[in-house]
Amino acid sequence: MAPEGSSTPHLSAPAGSAAGTTPDSRSPFPAIADYGFLSDCETNALVAPSGAVEWMCVPRPDSPSVFTALLDRGAGLFRVGPYGVRVPVARRYLPGTLVLETTWQTSTGWLVVRDALVLGPWHHTAHRSPTHRRTPTDDDAEHLLLRTVRCVSGTVDLEVVCEPRPGYGRDATRWEYEGDGYDTAVGRPDAAPAADGADRAADGAAPPDLRLTSSLRIGLGEGRANARSRMTEGDQHFVALSWGEESLPRTWSDAADAMWRTEQFWRGWITQGVFPDHPWRTYLQRSALTLKGLTYAPTGALLAAATTSLPETPQGPRNWDYRYSWVRDSTFALWGLYTLGLDREANDFFAFVQDVAHDQLQVMYGVGGEQRLDESELAHLSGYEGAQPVRVGNAAYQQDQHDVWGTVLDSVWVHAKSRDQLPESVWPILKHQVEEAARHWHEPDRGIWEVRGDPQHFTSSKLFCWVALDRGARLARLYDAPDVAAQWQEVADEVREDILARGVDERGVFVQRYGSDALDASLLLVPLLRFLPPDDERVVATVRAIADELTEDGLVLRYRVEETDDGLRTHEGAFTICSFWLVSALVEIGETDRARALCERLLGYASPLSLYAEQIDTATGRHLGNFPQAFTHLALINAVMHVVRAERARGERFRFEAAHHAP
């Protein structure tokens, strides 16, 4: 399916294996790529094609989930759709928004459902928000999942089933009516005793009450709230689920207004960006909207993805919790937004970094700035298609990953350069990060792939230490501190020489780690980070070696699992960020046609809603891993913009030559 409002021809996915079709007809789980993503920049949700919300965590994106059917079919969902029909005829986002529209055809009529996490005006007027630490804006999350339904033709039996199971599916919900009618019910967790011995306190604060309100008559059953109605052409209804204090929609008109405000919020946001007039524009916009949807507005943090434990290997153990803010993923995401002129999120993220970067900068934080992200397993969940364990928390938070200083410094440099000034408050933090890079660059670490094997001398970690020192020196010059700049430049040069002496093999190809000749896709960053010019023969040799030797069916692996001790031995899919990096790197070395062909192919793997998980199974085209993932979307933006700019430059050259050679 071509993306919304696009005239782009359907790009070719591998034969018989479009990303968004149910992969295995025996599996009760939808394909990962078939989920729709909703967000209000505080909470997010995944909606299956059946109309069921199968993943939602409240009040925060890393709180225990209330709908968890994504990871266990019995762990709670919220469905709105026609009775007896599970497959819609069409799904799309309203252009420029995160409002999802699902169109249903039954044997008797047509129904259109719209889903959104509602955004409204700033509402902390009497009291300041307990969670917001950034400058208040005009907009705010309403803590409301809104679903509107219109019967547009014939007659359709509508079915609503709301069955929350708080605590990652462990607890049932006790429902009772509020008021005298059938229009509002309150659901409270009915906590079962922890038979598995799990420590509920470890899940954090008690889950909030849920309030369901509707223009339909709500019925209450064991653990669930239901509604049914025969709708005829012109009928419209709404169902809204709230976990906050804000006022609920009471009428269709309230609900329609809330939906409209939400659409306007997203359209207003995306209009601030600068998008090329190009057939791939809609992919850029969807990626930008997805990155924005992965932000946590109260603090400025950015999530790596909306989910935990969607498997990187089908039925395998590579299942991780991505509902946290990695410094690396976030700063890369800001590059992507910056490329499109969407740079306001950067201020909030830098403020977040300022909040958390006390002494040692960790590689990741909770979205509220939490430093401890202890990892545990949820043994009561089956896992997506049986992939176990399901993990919450992420032990990688304790790792040494030496790219952390360079990613922050590069981002500060990009933003300071564009404004030609460095805010006074940023200098002490920045200085500390550069000094950390200078102190630790020669030590081994876990690298940007967060391997769980022993620390190694990863070449890309040294590369990022060089970035920290190089950008630090440039920023020191901007800050008018020439002595500091000279001192940092000297160490940068030392790191550079070390990398060139020990990080390149006899073929002239950059290698994954010192003392090995394994390839690693992170070395595609050598030209992108301007460590060497793109026409340097070592750069060209590295890009070609990765393209030819580190690919499966043309898609890039981050490394070969058999050559890399990452703590797990199982196979994994192609890491999509790496394939998009290859597109950018091919453009850098002048292989634009090859870059365009690869980029077109990668866009063909997009989900029906133009979303991406972390990885692609090269054999089937299935999406693997957490979803939607910031890494993939940010790299898509950079890759597409590389190709678009290269094509434009080529077009200009062609026009120039034609004009000057014309008879």
Ligand X SMILES: OC[C@H]1O[C@H](O[C@H]2O[C@H](CO)[C@@H](O)[C@H](O)[C@H]2O)[C@H](O)[C@@H](O)[C@@H]1O
Residues of the shown chain interacting with ligand X in the complex, contacts defined by CB under 6 A: 304, 320, 322, 326, 328-329, 394, 396, 448-450, 452, 566, 631
* Nearer of residues 249 and 628 to ligand X, judged by Cβ: 628
* Nearer of residues 627 and 631 to ligand X, judged by Cβ: 631
CA–CA distance, 397 with 367 (Å, rounded to integer): 13
Q: How far is the CB of 282 from ligand X (least distance, A)?
A: 24
* Nearer of residues 104 and 631 to ligand X, judged by Cβ: 631
Q: How many residues does the chain have?
A: 663
End-to-end CA distance of the chain: 46
Q: How far is the CB of 169 from ligand X (least distance, A)?
A: 22
Evaluated on CA atoms 531, 535, 541, 546, the torsion sign reads positive
Q: How far is the CB of 403 from ligand X (least distance, A)?
A: 9
* Nearer of residues 540 and 630 to ligand X, judged by Cβ: 630
* Nearer of residues 540 and 574 to ligand X, judged by Cβ: 574
Q: Compute the half-sphere exposure of residue 154: CA atoms within 13 Å on the CB side of its CA.
A: 14
Q: Which two tokens stand for residue 8?
A: 């782009």
Is residue 118 within 8 Å of residue 96, measured between CB atoms? Answer: no
* Nearer of residues 243 and 320 to ligand X, judged by Cβ: 320
- Among all chains, which residue has been given the structure tokens 């597109």? 583
What single-letter DSSP state applies at residue 9? P
* Nearer of residues 34 and 520 to ligand X, judged by Cβ: 520
Q: Which two tokens stand for residue 144?
A: 């409301």
Q: How far is the CB of 374 from ligand X (least distance, A)?
A: 12
Q: How far is the CB of 620 from ligand X (least distance, A)?
A: 21
Q: Which residues pair with 220 in a beta bridge?
A: 225
CA–CA distance, 260 with 404 (Å, rounded to integer): 40
Is residue 82 within 8 Å of residue 102, measured between CB atoms? Answer: no
Q: How far is the CB of 567 from ligand X (least distance, A)?
A: 7
Number of continuous H segments (helices) and E segments (strands) in the chain:
13, 26
**How would DSSP label each residue in 297-330?**
TTTTEE-SBS-B---SSTTSS---B--SEEHHHH
- Among all chains, which residue has been given the structure tokens 């230490």? 465
Q: How far is the CB of 472 from ligand X (least distance, A)?
A: 22
* Nearer of residues 574 and 595 to ligand X, judged by Cβ: 574
CA–CA distance, 57 with 62 (Å, rounded to integer): 7
Q: How far is the CB of 600 from ligand X (least distance, A)?
A: 25
